[in-house]
Structure 1
Amino acid sequence: MSSINFLGAASGLPLDELVTSFVNVERQTKFSRIEKNTSTLNASLSGVGKLKSALSSFLDASKKLSSESLKARTVTITQPETGKTFIQATAKNTAAASSFDIKVNQLAKGSRVETVDASFTDSNSVVSTTDGNLTFAAGDKSFTVAVTAGMTLNELRLKINDTADNFGINANILNVGGTTGAKLVLNSSVTGLGNDLVISNDNAELDTLSTIATGTSAGMTLTSGANDAQIEIDGTALNSSTNVFNDVVQDISLTVLNVTPTGNNAKLDIATDKSAAETNIKSFISSFNSLVTQITDLTRNRVLGADGSVTLESGALSGDSLPRNILSQLRSILGSTVPGAADGLNTLYSMGITLNKDGKLEISTSTEFNSETGKNRFDDALNNSYDDIAKLFGGDDGFVSQLNTLISEYTKSGGILSSRQNTLTSQLRENTKASEAASRYIASYEDSLRKRYAALDSLLGQMQRQQASVTAALSSLPKFSSNSSS
């Protein structure tokens, strides 16, 4: 279509306006349906996304009530002195609630060996004129260092420290000087009574650097032996080859870091985490209620006022049975009895949680139907049946498992809602193609109209010119003029 149009210029008729009017009517006819369909599809796609998000949020809130989460224990430690850590502890979810007085008498430590005085003049002294091997062992760990002919004391130190399979031997040199000379000092990180560092060789020339001689006498002495950690729990003495005491109190791991001051012991308290459980259960309730609200908004019907005007538009998924079916299945699960749960705590009702008239969960404080409120039952479960709550929600057939099975079918990749989103997206693409095709049709339609009306405009202009020419010719005839004047 030309960007400059002179329709009507020849005939003087408003042909351009007429073409524009025809084109606008055709465009409105074609695009109103497409635009309405696009709006509906976009709203549905957004609605499915909101439903999927609300379901995922509810499932996330449910998973916080898994068995591991609900059985978690809180560990409280009172240190003997502020600003210094004497003990640390962790507890499995099977640990019993309890309190302990803990005294740390001794930390576990490794052994220390060193060469005797005057064994070496300085760090550059040669340790051996021939090749050999030194083997370092402590407990069930060991490694070997190859000593080459002419190796100095400092070179040996570096090689010990750099050996890849060194299990925790730290080599240092004390340059004392005088008659003492240089001393090689080895500290082992292997703790526990009986785990002293032992050094052996396969070359008698290396006896100076060994605790076990191949020749006549060993040249390294034990200056500090490895020891166990020693503690007292409520007056009972306990030893450990490391600073960690696993299960000396069943299902509790205790780590000691410092010796406690005389007469001032550490305190350890293990308790059920009722506060976290209450918070997570209330979050579960809130998340379900948010899901109910979301589904209600998505599926509501349009509301008309007394005068017939729209006072509230319909929801994005109005008329779609899927959201209500999901909600019905969820309510069926939440209203069921959980297999394997404790007899007195196998339903949400027994936990003090009920559905109100709006279909939402609540911990009721009303005594309208029962002298015992939902809040009474809820508090009683937390205080007296804490571990049974974990069976109700987190057991093999508990609410968390059932909800996860149901909701995942809708929210997982490739699930029901993802498939619905893919279908809507595909329909939107088809709608876009229809819009593009309609645009091409309108352009062609307008071009066709303009060509036809341009031809009409030209014909009418020619006819008008011919009429004017005939009229002029007739008016020039005498009789025609006379008759005209008379």
Structure 2
Amino acid sequence: MASPILPGTGLGSGLDTGAIVKALVNADKAAKQGQIDRGTATNTASISGIGTLKSLMAAFTKSMTELGSKTNPQFPGFAATSSDVKIATATATNSAVNGNYVVEVKSLATSSKVASAAFAGGTTSAIPTGTLTIKQSGGTFNLDIKAGATLQSVRDSINADASIKGAGISANIVTDSFGSRLVLGSTNTGSGSDISVSGIAGLEIDGNNVVGTAGSPMTAASAGSIGALAVDADVTVDGMSVPSKSNTLDKAISGLTFNLVAKGTTTVTVSANTDGLKASVQKFVDAYNAIANSVTALTKPSLDDDGKPTVPAALTGDALPRSILAAIRGPLSETGAGDKLTVLAQLGITTNQKTGALDFDSTKFTAAMNDKKLGGEVQELFTGNNGLLERMNKAVSSFAETGGILDQRTTSLNKTKTKLTNDQLALDRRIETLTAVLTKKYNDMDTLVGKLKATASNITSMFEAMTAQQKNS
């Protein structure tokens, strides 16, 4: 007969065997589970913290690169402004001097554009084999035209040739009422830069021959410079003629570069770039403080009302943030290569001893610009040879670069995360097995106790019956 005692109910022994098994299993599991939980919490926080550090590093490096741009200088000592930027713009270097300059653009420098005679067959017109020779400004470029060439394939070959492309020459096809023409243009400007083509019948172009004017309208046989020859820019500065083969004048006035845009007159004013320098210096201070304060925050635990640490920060106790802070602070104390301006303190920039961030005293900065005339040296301090921005980028490169310290730490943390996951799975399997083993043992015990109780009850009943019979006899 099957036992009426159900497994785990304790009906046989009167004990809650399920609760006993659970308590024993939890006691066995507690130490290892606590270790895994603590490790997982620390690992998760560290992964998050390192991810934040990588983002901070990327933003800081981007800021240093933008501030150190050579094509868009952020620390010029002088600023040049044009009264009409539609006529001409100007940029100033640290060798410029204060002043006003009247710039009259009578005509812009132009480039060469030439066209061949028209091919009635269009872009697929056959082109004879041979060597196509293109000449411009003393330069000669030879292109081998093979059998089966068409007007379009010649165009493509010209554009694919690295030496021709490097000289600023490109080709296209224009189809007019007479047919398709090979048209060559150039980025080079100025008198004498006209293009000539020879060597292939039908593609000869005399760059000194002007076609397509009112007095010489285009015909099917017309070939030459379209409309006009290339000319120099005709410019005067304060009434003095300064002809130029390009629309960029960088030798007319020391420390100034003019970029010509259109015909007309404009006045260029050169003055100290105090406001611009102040804005750029503030950008540097802001970028530095953003990373310094954020890195510090990753190591500081939360405090209770009594000022005692409660919840640790993502990287509390980790040496890596301190290494980063030390790296970016190092260049601040190094002496620059300037003449009069060698340290940031001369510009009113000092390190806050309590926070580690930078303080920027605009009053001291203005005095350095106006009284000490240091504006011309700010660019050298920040972006000169081995300047502050270059030293900053070098200081953080080992952390921020691909495969650098932060990437290595991320890899290590991910390996730890995988190990903790595997440890949890192994613990879960062991606990599942232990639970099954203990449950069976206690169920067996409970069933046995139940049977013993039933036997004892039967024996007791027998003795009670015997006693009753004796009393009745």
TM superposition score normalised by structure 2: 0.70
Shift in Å, 1:210? 11
2:82 aligned partner: 77
| CA distance in structure 2 between the aligned counterparts of 1:453 and 1:258, rounded to whole angstroms | 98
2:342 aligned partner: 346
Shift in Å, 1:206? 12
AA partner of residue 416 (structure 2):
Q
AA partner of residue 457 (structure 1):
D
Residue deviations 1:284-308, cap 9 Å, x none? 32333344433443333574666xx
* 1:100–1:233 contact (8 Å) kept in structure 2: yes
2:442 aligned partner: 453
Equivalences for residues 220-231 of structure 1 within 5 A: 227-231=231-235
Of 369, 373, 380, the match for 2:367:
380
1:312 aligned partner: 310
| CA distance in structure 2 between the aligned counterparts of 1:427 and 1:132, rounded to whole angstroms | 69
Secondary structure of the structure 1 residue equivalent to 2:298: helix
Q: Which moved more, 1:13-22 or 1:437-446?
A: 13-22
AA partner of residue 284 (structure 1):
F
AA partner of residue 465 (structure 1):
A
1:259 aligned partner: 263
| CA distance in structure 2 between the aligned counterparts of 1:196 and 1:391, rounded to whole angstroms | 41
2:412 aligned partner: 423
Does the C-alpha gap of structure 1 residues 303 and 12 become closer, same or farther in structure 2, counting only changes over 3 Å? same
Residue deviations 1:109-130, cap 9 Å, x none? 579999xxxxxxxx89xxxxxx
Does the C-alpha gap of structure 1 residues 192 and 376 become closer, same or farther in structure 2, counting only changes over 3 Å? closer
The alignment status of 1:235 with 2:233, answered yes or no, reads no
RMSD of aligned alpha carbons: 5.1
Secondary structure of the structure 1 residue equivalent to 2:48: helix
Shift in Å, 1:346? 1.6
Equivalences for residues 62-461 of structure 1 within 5 A: 62-66=64-68, 68=70, 69-72=73-76, 74-79=79-84, 85-89=86-90, 98-108=99-109, 140=138, 164=158, 192-193=190-191, 227-250=231-254, 252-260=256-264, 265-270=265-270, 273-300=273-300, 303=303, 312-328=310-326, 330-334=328-332, 336-343=333-340, 345-363=341-359, 374-383=361-370, 384-461=373-450
Shift in Å, 1:175? 8.6
Structure 1 regions of 5+ residues with no counterpart? 115-122, 125-130, 146-155, 177-183, 213-218, 365-373
Does the C-alpha gap of structure 1 residues 326 and 8 become closer, same or farther in structure 2, counting only changes over 3 Å? same
Does the C-alpha gap of structure 1 residues 15 and 358 become closer, same or farther in structure 2, counting only changes over 3 Å? same
Shift in Å, 1:11? 4.4
AA partner of residue 352 (structure 1):
G
Shift in Å, 1:458? 1.9
Q: Percent identity?
A: 25
The alignment status of 1:28 with 2:17, answered yes or no, reads no
Q: Which moved more, 1:104-113 or 1:239-248?
A: 104-113
Shift in Å, 1:162? 9.2
Residue deviations 1:47-94, cap 9 Å, x none? 3333444444444444444384344465533239xxxx3335556676
Does the C-alpha gap of structure 1 residues 60 and 481 become closer, same or farther in structure 2, counting only changes over 3 Å? farther
Does the C-alpha gap of structure 1 residues 386 and 112 become closer, same or farther in structure 2, counting only changes over 3 Å? closer
| CA distance in structure 2 between the aligned counterparts of 1:437 and 1:159, rounded to whole angstroms | 69
| CA distance in structure 1 between the aligned counterparts of 2:91 and 2:266, rounded to whole angstroms | 15
Does the C-alpha gap of structure 1 residues 279 and 470 become closer, same or farther in structure 2, counting only changes over 3 Å? same
Secondary structure of the structure 2 residue equivalent to 1:354: strand
* 1:67–1:393 contact (8 Å) kept in structure 2: no
2:126 aligned partner: none
Residue deviations 1:214-240, cap 9 Å, x none? xxxxx9999966643322111111323
Residue deviations 1:245-303, cap 9 Å, x none? 4533346554545432xxxx222345565434322322332333344433443333574
Shift in Å, 1:42? 1.8
Corresponding residue pairs, total: 429
Secondary structure of the structure 1 residue equivalent to 2:354: coil
2:214 aligned partner: none
Does the C-alpha gap of structure 1 residues 394 and 201 become closer, same or farther in structure 2, counting only changes over 3 Å? closer
Structure 2 regions of 5+ residues with no counterpart? 1-5, 122-128, 144-149, 210-221
Does the C-alpha gap of structure 1 residues 251 and 171 become closer, same or farther in structure 2, counting only changes over 3 Å? farther
| CA distance in structure 2 between the aligned counterparts of 1:221 and 1:426, rounded to whole angstroms | 70
